[in-house]
Amino acid sequence: MKLTQRPLTHRPRRLRKSSALRELIAETHLSTSELIWPVFVTGGKNSQEKINSMPGVFRFSPDLLAKEIGAAMKLGIHSFALFPAIESKLKDSHGRESLNPNGLLPTTVKMLKDKFPDANIITDVALDPYSSDGHDGIVRNGEILNDETVEVLAQMAVTQARAGADLVAPSDMMDGRVGAIRRALDQEGFTQVGIMAYSAKYASAFYGPFRDALQSAPKFGDKKTYQMDFRNSREAVREAQLDIREGADIVMVKPALSYLDVIQTLKAHVKVPVAAYNVSGEYAMIKAAEAAGMLDGTKAMVESLYSIKRAGADMILTYFAVEMAKYLR
Ligand code: PBG
C-alpha cells in the first residue's frame, strides 16, 4: 500500500471511471418518444414568424407547420401540442372564436391528421388565445367566472375532438372542467379522445415568452385566482386527484424546472402517467445565457430534460424537442 493510499472500502468514483461504466449504471433514460413538441400556428400561407423572446421558435402557417411536423416525425417525435395565434380582431370577451369549427386550430388539426394519421395531436383547451381580456376564462366585473367558463371549455373540447384531436389538454385551471369535458366528449361519441389535464399549473413568471408568442398576456391583473400558488405542493396532489376522479387520463405539472419536487410528489401519489411542461421561460433562459456566452446551451438543455425525467415525468413537453431528438440520435 502506498503511503498516500487511504484505507477506503467505499469509493463511489470506481463506477464513474469510464463512459462505459457510467452508461452501465445510469438510472435515468430519456427517449425521443417521450417528448412532446409544443408548436405555434398562425394564419396565412408560407409564413414563419420569429418570436423575440424565444430564439429558434416560430409561429408557422399551417402549410409550413406540416413540413416541420413531417421532419420531426422523421426524428422520432410523434406528439405535438398545438397553440393557435388568433388575430386580435377575432378575440372577444367570451372567446367565441374557440368554438368556430372552421377556425385556425380545428382546420389545422384536420389537415395534420389527414397528412400524419399516426401523429398524436394534442390541443389546448383554454380561452386565453381567443380572449380579448387575455384570461383563461370569461371575465365579468374583473372576476374570472368558473362555471360559465367550464361550459365553453366543454364545447371547445368537442370542437377540437371533431377536428381530430387525439388528446385535449385543458390548461385553464377552472374547477370541474375535466369532468365537464369528459361528459361532453362522451355525449358526442368521442369516448376515445383522452384528456391530458394541466392539473398542477402554477401562476408563473416563466410563461412570459409564451404570452409574447400568442399575444395573450392578461389585459389586467394576473392569473392567481385560478392558477396555483408556487408556495404549495400538497395542493398539487389534491388538484391531480380531483382531475383523475373527473376522468383525466394524464396529469401535468407546469412549469417543470422550479417544480421538480412537485413532479416527484405527484408521481408518488397517482397511478396515471405524469407529464411535465418545460415552459417557454425555461427555454428562453437557456437560449439567452447561451447567446450571451455564459454557458453551453446544449449541455444545459440535456441536463434540464434529464432532471425532469429523473424527478418522475413520464413525458415532457418542451420547445427543445427537435434539438433534443437530434442530440439523442
Ligand atoms: C394558457 C397556457 C399558457 C401556457 C400554456 N397554455 C400560458 C398561461 O397560462 O398564461 C404556457 C406555456 C409556456 O410558457 O411555455 N392556457
Q: Which of 91, 110, 201, 223 is catalytic?
A: 201
Nearest atom of ligand 1 to the alpha carbon of 218? 10
Contact 205, 282 (CB under 8 A): no
Please work out whether the CB of residue 98 comes within 6 Å of at least one atom of ligand 1: no
d(CA 167, CA 217): 25
* DSSP at 228: B
Element (H or E) spanning 107, and its range? helix 104-115
Could you give the C-alpha distances from 12 to 9, 15, 25, 190, 298, in angstroms and in order? 10, 6, 12, 53, 27
Nearest to 79 by CA among 32, 125, 126: 32
50 among known catalytic residues? no
- For 30-328, CATH gives 3.20.20.70
Please work out whether the CB of residue 171 comes within 6 Å of at least one atom of ligand 1: yes
d(CA 60, CA 68): 9
Confidence at residue 2, expressed as pLDDT on a 0 to 100 scale:
81
d(CA 95, CA 148): 12
- Judged by phi (left if over 0) then psi (alpha if -120 to 50, else beta), residue 181 lies in alpha
Please work out whether the CB of residue 284 comes within 6 Å of at least one atom of ligand 1: no
What residue's CA is closest to ligand 1, atom 7? Answer: 207
Q: Which of 91, 223, 254, 287 is catalytic?
A: 254
Nearest atom of ligand 1 to the alpha carbon of 283? 15
Q: Reduced to 3 states, what is the DSSP secondary structure of residue 41?
A: strand
Cα 21 to middle of ligand 1, angstroms: 40
Please work out whether the CB of residue 282 comes within 6 Å of at least one atom of ligand 1: no
The secondary structure of 160-209 as a DSSP string is: HHHHT-SEEEE-S--TTHHHHHHHHHHHTT-TT-EEEEEEEEB--GGGHH
d(CA 275, CA 289): 26
Q: Reduced to 3 states, what is the DSSP secondary structure of residue 117?
A: coil
Cα 174 to middle of ligand 1, angstroms: 14
The secondary structure of 270-321 as a DSSP string is: -SS-EEEEE-HHHHHHHHHHHHTTSS-HHHHHHHHHHHHHHHT-SEEEETTH
Please work out whether the CB of residue 210 comes within 6 Å of at least one atom of ligand 1: yes
Burial of 302 (0-12, 13-18, 19+ CB in 10 A): middle
Element (H or E) spanning 40, and its range? strand 35-41
254 among known catalytic residues? yes
- Using CA of residue 30, residue 60, residue 129, residue 288, what is the dihedral sign? positive
Nearest atom of ligand 1 to the alpha carbon of 216? 10
Please work out whether the CB of residue 162 comes within 6 Å of at least one atom of ligand 1: no
Cα 33 to middle of ligand 1, angstroms: 23
Ordered per-residue pLDDT tens for the chain, 329 residues:
788 999 999 999 999 999 999 999 999 999 999 999 999 999 999 999 999 999 999 999 999 999 999 999 999 999 999 999 999 999 999 999 999 999 999 999 999 999 999 999 999 999 999 999 999 999 999 999 999 999 999 999 999 999 999 999 999 999 999 999 999 999 999 999 999 999 999 999 999 999 988 888 999 999 999 999 999 999 999 999 999 999 999 999 999 999 999 999 999 999 999 999 999 999 999 999 999 999 999 999 999 999 999 999 999 999 999 999 999 99
* Stated pTM of the model: 0.97
Q: Reduced to 3 states, what is the DSSP secondary structure of residue 252?
A: strand
Cα 212 to middle of ligand 1, angstroms: 10
Label residues 180-193 b or e (16+ Cβ within 10 Å = b).
bbbebbeeeebeeb
Domain boundaries, the chain: 30-328
Could you give the C-alpha distances from 232 to 174, 200, 244, in angstroms and in order? 18, 10, 19
Pocket probe mutation, ligand 1, options 136, 202, 252, 319, max atoms within 8 Å of Cβ: 136
